[in-house]
Each structure stands twice: as C-alpha cells, then as structure tokens.
Structure 1
Amino acid sequence: PALILLTVAVPSFALLYSMDEVIDPIITLKVIGSQWYWSYEYSDNLEFSDEPLIFDSYMVQENDLEIGQFRLLEVDNRVVVPTNSHIRVLITASDVLHSWAIPSLGIKLDACPGRLNQTSMFIKREGVFYGQCSEICGVNHGFMPIVIEAVSLEDYLTWLKNKINFDFNV
C-alpha cells in the first residue's frame, strides 16, 4: 500500500507545484471584502504614480440609478481590467467571510480574514460582467455587487491614467 501511495503522490505533488504559477501576470488585483462593500488595489501602476491605486466599490442606491443600470448590481466604482491579459487576483477579508463570485467568468473565490487566497483570470472579450458576494456575511449581504469591466489594453491604460490623476489631484 505504501508503494502505491508513493507512486500516486510523487507525480501529483510535482504537477501541483508546476501548476502553481506558470505565467507572469500583467496585473495583480488585490480585493478586500468588508461589511458591506469591496475594496480594490492596483499596485502594478508604479510607472504612472508612486502610490498604488486604491478605491472602494459600493452598490449604487436605487434612487441614484441611471437609465439602463441594473438594480442591486451596479456599483459606484467598477473594476476595470484589460482583455487578453493574465490577471492575478489576491483576496482577503477585513471582518467576516465573504465570497467574490462572478459566475459569467467562472470565478468564485472565498475571502477569509487573516488568510490570502489567489486565482487568475484571462478575459477574452470586452464587456461588463456582474457578480455578487455569495457567502452570507451579515444583514446587508445582498447588497455587495461586483462589476468587472473588460476593455482593450489601450482603454485600460487611459482609464488608469485618468483614475490616478483624478485621485491624486483631488
């Protein structure tokens, strides 16, 4: 029995470690779940600024929605990422368990206080992708939407420059 276990375990561990991180991502997106909003940090933009880009993302209240926006799904600050790029997502929580889920991208990542979780994503087409917290985290759990906007690399760089200039010129 021990020989059979070793025969299975050695290749499994070799494969596990070789799959860990083969591709160097163009962006690392840090996500922090809090009751009841998401915080995001882009820290790979040091060629544009000395500080990382950090912002919070709250659900847009129903009376503030514009025509065409989805109730309970729209946020005040969307996560913008470039298409056809490898993106690393690091996630944690500041208070209770959360789960960062975007079903149309096939992503569901648990956020645990004191722990760091990681996944990667590669979005092939431009568009807006909606998700929500999928871990019951308290009374306003249903009001933690996630919006990912995938744009071209050129549009992403324009958005990043505008966001940095706006945040640091306020």
Structure 2
Amino acid sequence: MAWLSGVVSTASVILPGIASAAQPMPWQVDLQPAGTGIMREIRWFEEYTLWFLIPIVLLVLGLLLYVIVRFNKRSNPTPSRVSHNTMIEIIWTIGPVLVLLMFAVPSFQLLTAQYTPPGEPGLTIKATGNQWYWGYEYQGDQAEDVSFDAYMLRDADRAEYGKEDKAVYPRLLAVDNEIVVPVDTTVRLLVTAGDVLHSWAMPAFGVKMDAVPGRLNETWFRVDKEGIYYGQCSELCGKDHAFMPIAVRAVSKEQYDKWHAAALEDVGVANKQLMAAIESQQKLASAE
C-alpha cells in the first residue's frame, strides 16, 4: 500500500492538472514525499534504522519462541541451575551499545542539520497560532509587510476562492489563504501562539515547531519543488484543534515577487492572480 501512496503522490506532481506536491493520501502508510533536503535526510534515517530494527525484532521473536519450545515444563522437566554466563552477558551488553552508537552518530548529524540553516534566510515569516486558525506576518524591508489569517476552507466557500478541485485542495486541509514562498530560498519561520499551545507541523518539510504563548520559537525550511504542501496543528489546543490546517504554496521566485507586490495591496487579489498564472502555465505545459 505504501508504493500506491507514493505513486499517487508522485502523479499529483507530474500531471499538469494537479498542483499538489505533498498531502496525506487515503490508506497511506509511508511518509509524505519530501519537499526539502531535511525531509530527505529524515526519510533516509528512517530507512536506515529499519535495517537494524527488523533483524532485532526477528532475533528477539526467535529467541522467545526457542525458549518457549525448548524450556517449557514438558520439554525440560528438570530446570537448569545455571545462574550466569559471562560470554552471553558481554554480548548482550556490547551488542546494544554498538547498535545505539550506529543510531546516535547519524541522528546527531541530522539534528545538527535541522538547526543549522544554510546561510542567511532570504525570507522571514512569523506564524501565530490562535483558536482555531493561523495568522502569518511576512517580515521584510517594508514598514508594513504582507500579513493575513488562514482559516480552513469550508465547502460552501470553494467557488468563491476558485478552489473546487478537491484533488488539489483537499477537504479539511485546504485554507483560504496559503503561505506563499519561493523555491530554493531559505525561509526562517518564527512560531508563537496568541492563546494556548499550538504546533506548526509540515510533514513534507520535516518541520514541527511548538507555538507557545509569550515565546518565539524559530525554525527554517527550504522548499525545492513547486506545489502546495499541507500540514496541521499538531498540539491539542481545544475543540476545533482538528480544523486548523496549514498550507504552503511554493512557487518560482518570479511568481513570488509578483504575488508579494500584489499582496502588499490586497492578499485575496494577489492569490487569485497567482492561481490564474499557475493554471495558465499548466495548460501551456499540457498543450506541449
């Protein structure tokens, strides 16, 4: 089933009529396709650990079955009086230590990479969690930069926002205003909350940062593939916790500059212009 999820997710990127880059799929058991270098490292580490975990599970299962069969009361009526075995104790002490070292080295490398952005950020966005929506502020050279709130898109409002295609704008995940970022640009994300604990989580980016009232947490991401990425609040924050999704639209730098210039005047108009430009580009690509 994992391969099927991967095929569907990949197709959503390749097919010109579908703009999504990563979103949850029905019956998905694998991680979402990586949209950043950090997420690719996380996927590699997950696959790497399985090469240790699967043999360990099978070994422990085999030992348990062997003990159950070999040393039950019927097969072994006279219990052994052996109290210890030096060699076995050395093996089960050194073995786990070596395995943990094999885990520790790459995990610390990954942790370091997650907290070490590649150079100065090209864009800074502040995300504020509220009950139950996200507020975003772009922080740039202008005294007043782009800012907006992102609410979950209701089915009744899909036509108004031009987001009727549920393959691209999934139910319970689509929002009225996506975060728009340029690809191949380091984005610094400042995360806080206005009321209770929230958590800004984007699986395809390998990012999950808690939003704490009165505290400013910092993380970063660098998207390398255009499309829409979906996440959700991942900290129980109240009755509508399940209804405050996160959507990031990654576009080319040229498209971002045009959107940003228009969004300084009107975010809604800028979003519609950007969507029209992307749809036009997809139609041209499909015609070719």
Query: TM-score with structure 1 length normalisation?
Result: 0.81
Alignment of 1:116-131 (within 5 A): 116-131=216-231
Q: Are the counterparts in 1 of residues 118 and 186 from structure 2 also a CA contact under 8 Å? A: no
SS at 2:254 equivalent: helix
Structure 2 equivalent of residue 110 of structure 1: 210
**Structure 2 portions without partners, runs of 5+:** 1-111, 159-163, 270-288
Higher strand content, 1 or 2: 1
Structure 1 equivalent of residue 140 of structure 2: 44
State how far apart, in whole Å, the 1-side matches of 2:118 and 2:200 are. Answer: 23
State how far apart, in whole Å, the 2-side matches of 1:67 and 1:25 are. Answer: 33
Percent of aligned pairs sharing the same letter: 47
* Cα distance, 1:138 vs structure 2: 0.1
State how far apart, in whole Å, the 1-side matches of 2:249 and 2:156 are. Answer: 23
Structure 2 equivalent of residue 162 of structure 1: 262
**Structure 1 portions without partners, runs of 5+:** 1-15
Q: Say which one has the larger Rg.
A: 2
Query: TM-score with structure 2 length normalisation?
Result: 0.49
Q: Are the counterparts in 2 of residues 79 and 149 from structure 1 also a CA contact under 8 Å? A: yes
Q: Structure 1: which 4+ aligned runs deviate by more than 4 Å?
A: 19-22
SS at 1:165 equivalent: coil
Asked if 1:67 corresponds to 2:160, the answer is: no
Task: Give 1:158's aligned amino acid.
Answer: K
**After alignment, is 36-45 or 138-147 more displaced?**
36-45
Structure 2 equivalent of residue 11 of structure 1: none
> CA RMSD of the aligned region, Å?
1.8
Deviations 1:41-86 (A, max 9, x none): 002152xxx4121110000112223133211001011000000011
Q: Are the counterparts in 2 of residues 127 and 150 from structure 1 also a CA contact under 8 Å? A: yes
SS at 1:130 equivalent: strand
Task: Give 2:147's aligned amino acid.
Answer: I
Aligned residues: 148
Asked if 1:24 corresponds to 2:120, the answer is: yes
